Amino acid sequence: MARRRRLLPDLDRSGGFVGMAALACVLFVYLASVEFLRWYAVLALVVVWLVLLAVGARWFTPAPRRVLLLPVAGLLVWAGVVWLAAR
């Protein structure tokens, strides 16, 4: 009987890498916001990103699936800051 190949990605092995790469993309979004946000808002976003990076580094090995949630949280924070700045 032939073994079946898994079609879904193994997030226990790759989740941390994918999450950290997506977190690096979030940094670019934060830094590009300097075009329409005040400098102190961008500075606050970078501080949030550093906290997310520290949490991602801590979760990288014990809980790699959780690392995938960090870029989503980062983008939600960014959207909230942009929404508040537009008011």
- 38-79 tens-digit pLDDT: 999 999 999 999 999 999 999 999 999 999 999 999 999 999
The answer to whether residue 57 sits within a structural domain is yes
Count of the separate structural domains present in the chain: 1
* 71 within a domain of the structure (yes/no): yes
65 domain residue, yes or no = yes
d(CA 15, CA 61): 10
Q: What pLDDT does residue 2 have?
A: 63
Q: For helices 69-86 and 11-32, give the axis angle rounded to 10 degrees.
A: 20
Over 70: is that where the pLDDT of 1 sits?
A: no
Evaluate whether residue 7 is within a structural domain.
Answer: no
Residue 43 lies in a domain: yes
pLDDT bucket at 9, cuts 50 / 70 / 90: confident
In a domain? residue 61: yes
Residues contacting 60, CB < 8 A, separation 6+:
16, 20, 67
Whether residue 2 is contained in a domain is answered as no
Question: Structural domain of residue 55, as residue ranges?
Answer: 12-86
pLDDT tens per residue across span 16-40: 999 999 999 999 999 999 999 999 9
47 phi, psi to nearest 5 deg:
-65, -40
